[in-house]
Amino acid sequence: MRIVVIGGSGHVGSFLVPRLVRAGHQVVALSRGARAPYVDDEAWSDVEQVVVDREAEDEAGTFGPRVAALEADAVVDMICFTPASATALVEALRGHTGHLLHCGTIWRYGPSVKLPMREDDGSPPFGAYGTQKAAIAELLEAETRTGGLVSTVLQPGHISGPGWVPIGPLGNLDPRVWYALSAGEEIAVPGLGVELMHHVHADDVAQAFQLAVENRAAAAGQSFNVVAPSALTVRGYLAIAAGWFGRTARTRSVSWPEFRAGTTPEFADSSWEHLARSQFASIEKARSLLGYRPAFEPDAAALSGIRWLIDHDRLEVAAPLVG
């Protein structure tokens, strides 16, 4: 097939594009051209790369027609964040492209009510990111249901992998947490420490997209959770991560006001966004309909990112990783 990947050099695209090439597909990767893919792969030599500023072209009304003109069998959209952007692309691709695959999020759901969360979960999302992604998923499902453009929504958890900082044990990107864990320092933990986070390795997300592209009949009109086989609690994540450095996690439970007083507003807000949701999503639907088989447990996905950062002198720690 001829496949266009919008956001081809991003977290997931860096793994997906080489996967598709090795599977024999013709791939066109669209990106801003601002950075190289996160993972080197000789398959990139067989990829047609197109530099495009989606935000600017969305405003000009030219992005959708540009993608349609590429005459793809399938379009994978990794970087659509508003219903208006999704609508413009759908209208341009309708009648020209066989299948649109959208990268959604498990934040389409709100705080967990019943676990594991399945694709029919009705908990209302909150926050701009979650609510807009939910609206996109709903409009794409309606588009397919009413006989329009065939679409599929894949909903990752917290995407981890080499090249960027994973969501840490406190639900934020604070690098000081990793130093504290490696040094055996005490860490202030808001809430009970039993809140859940559901990570996934970028290559496992790429696997799911490849499966959905190659199994259009099973994927048409569907939404799929795409996460690791299990989720991590805050205290479990802290214990496991401390062990990476040969340490034992030392923690102290604090109230949310106390936690906020000891960190930045950005990190405090991120922690609240992640931990208040306390999500654990089911992958049974993706397993049964697509054959999705994630290779990474959530802690292994996070470790791959931390190992890369340490190896490339991008993260300060007090002790080396063990093993």
72 part of a folded domain: yes
State the 10-residue block means of pLDDT for the chain, 323 residues long: 96 97 97 85 94 95 97 97 98 96 98 95 95 98 97 98 97 98 98 96 98 98 98 98 98 97 98 97 98 98 98 97 90
Residues 14 and 111 in one domain: yes
Same domain (yes/no): 31, 176: no
pLDDT at position 126, please?
A: 95
Q: Residue 222: inside a domain, yes or no? A: yes
Q: How far apart are CA 214 and CA 290, in angstroms?
A: 9
- Residue-wise pLDDT for 156-179, tens only, equals 999 999 999 999 999 999 999 999
CA distance 113 to 124: 11
Rounded Cα distance, 195 and 197, in Å: 7
Q: Residue 289: what pLDDT?
A: 98
Whole domain around residue 175: which residue ranges? Answer: 161-198+230-279+297-311
pLDDT of residue 35: 77
Report residue 3: phi and psi, to 5°: -125, 130
Model pLDDT, residue 34: 72
Question: Is there a cis peptide before residue 257, judged by omega within 30 degrees of 0?
Answer: no
The pLDDT score that the predictor gives to residue 14 is: 96
Q: CA-CA distance, 20 to 74, in Å (whole number)?
A: 12
* H-helix or E-strand spanning residue 152: strand 151-156
Six token digits for residue 142 = 């309606």
Say whether both 47 and 73 belong to one domain: yes
User: Do 20 and 58 have their domain in common?
Assistant: yes
Instruction: State whether 111 and 189 are in the same domain.
Output: no
CA–CA distance, 307 with 164 (Å, rounded to integer): 10
